[in-house]
Amino acid sequence: METPQPKNHNELVTKLEDFFTAPEILVEIGDFFASCDLQFAGFEENELEETHPIENYEQFQRYGELIEKKLALFLSENSKDANELYTACLEEKLENENGWAVCLDYLIASLDYEYFLQVAFDLYNLQ
């Protein structure tokens, strides 16, 4: 019986994943979440509720700025534009639903407030 070959992943998304999982980037993102002091409603029940302090949204905006700067650096280093990256990420997400790429979570969290809160909450619960 043949061993199944791993599914092919988009080359640009693989590069993006390598970029976002580099130690210095992981530390910077980890430090961001460790220092942003988010307040989670419903924390005791281990689920997020609908309402949160306005300070959480301000942290979400700061996070978006951080990710935007990192993306600009990545695009510049790889001579790609935002549309190429968007298409690659969309295709990867649609074709590989198992969520192998942490970078996609980082990107979605920079654009979607509820997703940001969920990522932050999950990281908080890992500590």
pLDDT digit string, tens, across residues 82-93: 889 888 888 887
In sequence order, the 6+-apart residues with CB closer than 8 A to the CB of 37 are 55, 59
Other Cβ atoms closer than 10 A to 42: 13
Please choose, from the candidates 47, 67, 48, the residue with its C-alpha nearest in 3D space to the C-alpha of residue 56: 48
Q: Is the pTM of this model over 0.85?
A: no
pLDDT digits (tens, 9 = 90+) for 20-36: 999 999 999 989 988 88
Neighbours of 65 (CB within 10 A): 10
Is 2's pLDDT higher than 50?
no
